[in-house]
Amino acid sequence: MWGVLPVKDFENAKTRLAPALTPDERRALFRLMVEDVLAAMCASALEGVLVLTNAPEAIALASAYNARIEGEPENLGQSEAVARAMRILQGEGVGAALQLPGDIPGVTPAEIDRVIAAHSAAPGRAMTIVQAHDFRGSNALAVSPPTLIPFHFGHDSFQPHLAEARAIGIEPQILTDLPGIALDIDTGEDLAKLLARPNLKTRATVWARQQGLAGRLA
């Protein structure tokens, strides 16, 4: 199984955090979150990691972790970017792929390995999904083959992805108890929940605590 990490422009990242963080803070936080996710992916049992991006900062990060880099011919949305990465992998004979977003800094290699193991146990065409903590998004999506379904990433993608799988006769595996994957950071409330986990020490959380963001968000 390969991992897919789509990364958009750092300059305009995480606008929903604007009430709580300055533009420079949002940009710094997003970069650290992407590195947290990339580091976990590269330390997991994934066969390889494909980073789909045109952002110079993301290209530099991917290069530092020896991840594969694919650019976007145009500024695609997340669903279109993931679909492009999946087509590339399937065209090269990859049998399964796992998409993760760049805003789940609490993810661990062990959590990714749990998704890989659960998905690998399903024969033939299959889909495994981890929903967001608000039960609306798809924070991890493993598919065999990589182009199994059309993608609907966004704030309410969980149910559409289930519907796509069921429409072709596949009952998805839904994994729970993966708190690092489940908590995506979109709002100040999300960030406060992340920083409320005292034993969680990632690049993003260490930086955020150093900046005093926990107190500000409280």
Domains of the chain, residue spans: 2-212
pLDDT of residue 73: 77
pLDDT of residue 155: 75
pLDDT of residue 72: 82
pLDDT of residue 40: 98
pLDDT of residue 19: 83
* Full-model pTM: 0.95
Q: Residue 39 corresponds to which tokens in the numbers above?
A: 């580091």
pLDDT of residue 156: 86
Q: What are the tens digits of pLDDT across the range 50-79?
A: 999 999 999 999 999 999 999 987 777 888
pLDDT of residue 194: 95
pLDDT of residue 167: 97
> Which residues of the chain carry a pLDDT beneath 50?
none
pLDDT of residue 134: 86
In sequence order, what DSSP letters do the residues of the chain get, joined into one string? Answer: -EEEEE---STT--GGGTTTS-HHHHHHHHHHHHHHHHHHHHTSS-SEEEEE---HHHHHHHHHTT-EEE--SS---HHHHHHHHHHHHHHTT---EEE--TT-TT--HHHHHHHHHHHHTS-SSEEEEEE-TTSSSEEEEEEESTTSS----STT-HHHHHHHHHHTT---EE----HHHH----SHHHHHHHHT-TT---HHHHHHHHTTHHHHH-
pLDDT of residue 56: 93
pLDDT of residue 88: 96
- CATH assignment of 2-212, given 3.40.50.720, 3.90.550.10, 3.30.420.40, 1.20.1290.10? 3.90.550.10
